[in-house]
Structures are given as C-alpha cells and as structure tokens.
Amino acid sequence: MLMPWLRFFRVVNLPTVPGDVLVGAAAAMWACRDSAADAESLVPVALAAASSCCLYLFGLADNDIVGAATDEGRPIPDGEITMRAARAARGACLALGLLALAAICALPFAGVTAMFELLVAFALVAVIVAYNRTKRPLLMGLCRGLNVVLGVSAIVPPLFWPRLMRHAPLAACVIAAVVAAWTIYVAAVTWYSEGEERDPSRRRRVGRLIGAIPLLQMAALGAFAVGLSPSIYMWGVFTASVLLWIAVLLARRFLPSVRAS
C-alpha cells in the first residue's frame, strides 16, 4: 500500500522543495550580512521549509483530486487510493503546513514574522488551488517563487524591509531577482512540459530540467555562502542543500516507478 501513496505525492521531487526556502533565506542573510544570523534565527527557516513541504504535498493531493476523472494511470482513477482517503490526506497536509508556520509564534520576538509567513502561505495555497484548476504555467512558477519568499521572510522581518530598501537597495534588488528567476524558470519548464505524455523525448528533457533545480539551488547557495564567509550557519544551509540533492538522486534511483510530474 505504500507505493500508491509515494506515486500520489510524487516523492521523487519532494527534496527540491525545501531548497527554495533555503535559497530565500540565504539571499536574506546575504542582504542583512551586517547582522550575522545565529542558530536561533534559523529555526523559523526550518519551520518554513517544513511548511513548504507540507503545502507541496497538499498541492499534489489537490491536483490528483481535481484531475481524478481524466488522469489515467494515477492512484485515484486506478482504485489504489479512495477519494475519501485522498481528501483526508489533502486536509492533513494543509493543516500541518499552516501549523508549522503558526509554531513560529512561540519563538521570541517572532510574532510579526509568523503572521507575515502565514499570509505568504495563504497566498501560496490560493495559487496552488488556482493552478490545479487552470494549469497556467505562470501560476506554477509563482508557487516556487512564493517558496523563496517564505525563506526570505523567515530571516527578514516585515518591519525591517523599509530600512533594507533605504540603506541597501542593491541587496533588496538581488532578493527580488532571485524570486523572479525561480518563478520564471519553473514557469518555463511547466510550459515546455505540456504534451510530454505523448512525447517520450520531451518527457526526458523535462525530467532533466526538473533535476537541474537542486543544482541551481546549490549554485545560488554556494554564491551566497562565499559572500557570507566565514559564516558557519550559511555553510550549514549550503550543506543542507547538498544533502537534498543527494536525496533527489537516491529517490530517482530507487523509486523509478514513481512519476516525477
């Protein structure tokens, strides 16, 4: 019974999701490098990454529920997972994703940050729901872009943004460029993937483009790590991204029957 759920949640791509949050956090650390991050400041990043994973799973569950009547070969139409179980899983993933961000409220001086993170999460949920019903590539790109915003807002409190824009406009522009780049890349891959079911060669190319996401994440994190050297916390974030990339490779090696898209 495990394999249908692994296929339902496309787990081979799951390790690429928290990497978006880490990239956003790294960009924010670099922008605020005069105020070095400490171990305590990375707790909201970890909670944001956990929330991002849960909301990703929510999106995939919602996608399969919406497309149950037409998506042949998926667990619901194949009778491997009931609609009732799928809806329960979707609700559980959404609840866990929001609870992970709500937990930030328990951290000292993190109330405003938690509220902003929850607003970003609600925006992400809205975009996910809209994409699953319209299949617009830009909406998929925005899902990834908002993941990066979750990471940024875990490091940079909303009240600090005016100061950052005033004293470090270049840093603020770099953050905006990272969010835009992630959005555009994923939107382009999503657009290119249309019709991949009928074209095996295109499907392989799409798989390589998706597989490049962890490499892009590591490249961005490595660049920010060099800029923040010798920050042990930044290098810890970079190491986490390497481990996530290894997890992607292992998932694709040992779970070849689990569809990635």
Q: What pLDDT is recorded for position 261?
A: 47
Residue 13 resides in a domain = no
The percentage of residues in the chain with a pLDDT greater than 90, rounded to a whole number, is 33
Token readout for 60 is: 């995939």
Reduced 3-state DSSP string for the chain: CHHHHHHHCCHHHHHHHHHHHHHHHHHHHHHCCCCCCCHHHHHHHHHHHHHHHHHHHHHHHHHHHHCCCCCCCCCCCCCCCCHHHHHHHHHHHHHHHHHHHHHHHHCCCCHHHHHHHHHHHHHHHHHHHHHHHHCCHHHHHHHHHHHHHHHHHHHCCHHHHHHHHHHCHHHHHHHHHHHHHHHHHHHHHHHHCCCHHHCHHHHHHHHHHHHHHHHHHHHHHHHHHHHHCCCHHHHHHHHHHHHHHHHHHHHHHHCCCCCCC
Q: What pLDDT is recorded for position 5?
A: 83
Lowest-pLDDT range, 3-12, 176-185, 246-255?
246-255
Residue 29 resides in a domain = yes
Residue 7 resides in a domain = no
Report pLDDT digits (tens) over 124-159: 999 999 999 999 999 999 999 999 999 988 887 765
Residue 157 resides in a domain = yes
Q: Which domain holds residue 197?
A: 18-254
Report pLDDT digits (tens) over 57-106: 999 999 999 988 887 778 898 889 999 999 999 999 999 999 998 888 77
Residue 180 resides in a domain = yes
**What's the mean pLDDT in 27-36?**
72
* Domains held by the chain: number: 1
- Residue reference for tokens 């875990």: 154
**What's the mean pLDDT in 177-201?**
89
Residue 176 resides in a domain = yes
Assess contact for 192 and 201: CB atoms under 8 A: no
Confidence of residue 43 (pLDDT cuts 50, 70, 90): confident
Report pLDDT digits (tens) over 210-238: 878 888 888 888 888 777 665 656 666 66
Residue 108 resides in a domain = yes
Residue 215 resides in a domain = yes
